[in-house]
Each structure stands twice: as structure tokens, then as C-alpha cells.
Amino acid sequence: MDDVRLRSRAPNARLWLAGGWLSLLLAAAILAPLIAPQDPLAQDLMFERLPPFWMQGSEPGFWLGTDSLGRDLLSRLIFGARIAFIVAFAAATAACLAGSTLGLVAGYFGGWADRIISRIVDVWMAFPPVLFAILLVAVLGTGLHSVIIAIAVIDWTRFCRVVRAEAMVQSRMDYVENARIAGFGRMGIMLREVLPNVLPSIVALLSLEMGIAVIVEAILSFVNLSISTDAPTWGGIIAEGRLSIHQAWWVLVFPLVTLFLTVLSFSQFGEGLKDRYDPVLR
């Protein structure tokens, strides 16, 4: 009994910790114009490479220091969270809708639909994802919309494969056969019986995909293929910090830590939701 209780508490702690960090970051992104201490684009070479507030040589109002152009690091991280969340939600949702729909159809109906969709997925996944994203952005042009489209176009296969496998397992369950005997149509069974039991896996994968989208956007902005280089993106800040790591380590370390905690939280939040609401695990 004690082991069962411990297992039931672990997902809750993971869920609350990850959800707390993401909620805090999301609130900061939404309220960025109100809570950011400085203009993230304002440059002042008189304040270049100021250290964080606890180090000697810091200045009031620049809590995490400044970069080589005198821009406030904390303000740039806060506004960068806006871009990260926009890309995460938009790209992951688009990839989820496309991939989950095709995966559900392939896994439940099988036959020629499964064969065609599976071949498309195999061909699509033959391309290296990061290189494919860079190629798509180069063709579409830089910009937030191009980044979102590139991530969605690449990562829909992830949802398709997982949902297809889950749908194939669920379609062989007794409750599906009982629904057929009761007279439900194939589309009705897929939507009313199979989809709810596949949904926990979709939610977990959606949360994980949001973290992946944040990483991909950071990579693209790191190589100047995201939005404007002046815009405060986490990848752009990391690229700036890499050039001045010996003079201002905080410009590199703080965005890296923020990126790591955000991606980890998306992953753990999805797993926590699956553990909590998956009817099989419950």
C-alpha cells in the first residue's frame, strides 16, 4: 500500500513543479511590457557587460546584468519567453492536429490507408530534422511564421507514429468489439471509444513537442534563421553570450539555464499528465 501511495505522489510532484515553472514563465511572457525592468532593445554602451546584482560592479535595475551592447539581460529573457511560447503552442498544436489525425486513421482503419500514411511517414523521417528545418526556413524566408510552419511540417510524423501504434492496440480491445456489436459505426467508434483512450498519449507527446519546438526555435535563432537578429530570442542571446563568455559569462549561462528548465518542464509536465489521467495507469 505504501509503494502504491509513493508512486501516486511522484507524478503529482512532477506535475506541480513543471507546471509551476511553466506557469511562472507564461505569466512573465504575457505581462512582459509591465514587469520587464528595461526596454529589451535599448542599447547603452555605458552599461555594457554589467554583472548580475550580487556581483561587484552591478547597477540598480539590471538584475541579471547586461550584454555587450548594454541591453538588460533579464528584460530580454522575459520578452524572449514570448517568442518561445508562441512558437511552442502554435507549432506543436499544428503538428499534433495533422499527425494525430493521420495516425488515428492509419491505426484504426488499417489496410490501404495505413500503408499509404506509413510510407509517407517513412519518407518524411528520412530527412535529418534540423537540416530539414533550416532548409524550409531558407526557402520560406526568415520570420516567426516560417519557423512555426517548418517545425509543424517536420514534427507531425512524431505524432502520427505514436498515435498509429496506440490506435492499433486500442482497436483490438474488447470495448471496441462491444461497440461494434452495439451497432456503432466505424467513425463513431474511432471518435467515441478509441480517441479518448489515445488522448493521454497525445497530451504527453504534445507537451514534449512544445519543448522540442522551443529548442528548434533556439537553434534557428542561434544561426540567425528565426526572426530579426535584434529581437530578444533565447537562441540569439545564447549566440551573443558565446562570443563574450570570458568577459560576461552570465549572458550565456542564464539563457541556457532558462532554456534547459523550460524544455525539461514541458517534458515532465506531459509525463505527469499522462500518469495522472491515463485510464490504464489509473
Q: How far is CA 201 from CA 41, 86, 150, in A?
A: 41, 23, 23
DSSP secondary structure code for residue 141 in this structure: -
Mean pLDDT of 128-140: 81
pLDDT of residue 5: 47
- Residue 219 in any domain: the answer is yes
pLDDT of residue 277: 64
More confident residue, 129 or 159: 159
- Closest by Cα among 124, 73, 36 to 251: 73
DSSP secondary structure code for residue 72 in this structure: B
Q: Which residue has the cell 524566408?
A: 141
Would you say residue 265 has pLDDT above 90? Answer: yes
For residue 66, report the phi and psi dihedrals to the nearest 5 degrees: -135, 170
- Residue 188 in any domain: the answer is yes
Helix %, strand %, coil % of the chain (to 5): 75, 0, 25
- Residue 146 in any domain: the answer is yes
Mean pLDDT, all residues of the chain:
86
Q: How far apart are CA 93 and CA 122, in angstroms?
A: 22
- Closest by Cα among 205, 210, 196, 188 to 278: 196
Mean pLDDT of 175-191: 79
Mean pLDDT of 75-81: 94
Place 63 in a pLDDT band, splitting at 50, 70 and 90: very high
Q: How far apart are CA 30 and CA 85, in angstroms?
A: 10
pLDDT of residue 4: 43
Place 61 in a pLDDT band, splitting at 50, 70 and 90: confident
Q: Give every CB contact of residue 68 below 8 A, 6+ residues apart in sequence.
A: 48, 49, 240, 243, 244, 247, 248, 251
> How many other C-beta atoms are found inside a 10 Å radius of the C-beta of residue 81?
24
Place 8 in a pLDDT band, splitting at 50, 70 and 90: very low
Rounded to a whole number of angstroms, the distance between the first and last alpha carbons of the chain is: 15
| pTM metric for this prediction | 0.86
Q: How far apart are CA 185 and CA 182, in angstroms?
A: 9
- Residue 40 in any domain: the answer is no
Q: How far apart are CA 207 and CA 263, in angstroms?
A: 9
Summarize pLDDT for 237-262 with one digit per residue, the tens.
999 899 888 889 999 999 999 999 99
pLDDT of residue 6: 46
- Residue 42 in any domain: the answer is no
Mean pLDDT of 158-170: 90
* Segments forming the whole domain that contains residue 209: 2-28+74-277
- Residue 249 in any domain: the answer is yes
| Cross-strand bridge partners of residue 66 | 72
- Closest by Cα among 200, 268, 241, 270 to 66: 241
Q: Looking at residue 254, which CATH number applies to its domain? A: 1.10.3720.10
pLDDT of residue 228: 66
Mean pLDDT of 189-205: 85
Q: Count each helix (H run) and each strand (E run) in the chain, helices first.
A: 11, 0
Q: How many independent structural domains does the chain possess?
A: 1
pLDDT of residue 104: 92
- Residue 160 in any domain: the answer is yes
Place 193 in a pLDDT band, splitting at 50, 70 and 90: confident
pLDDT of residue 30: 94
Q: Could you give the maximum distance between any two Cα atoms of the chain, in Å?
A: 77
Summarize pLDDT for 89-123 with one digit per residue, the tens.
999 999 999 999 999 999 888 889 889 999 999 88
- Residue 49 in any domain: the answer is no
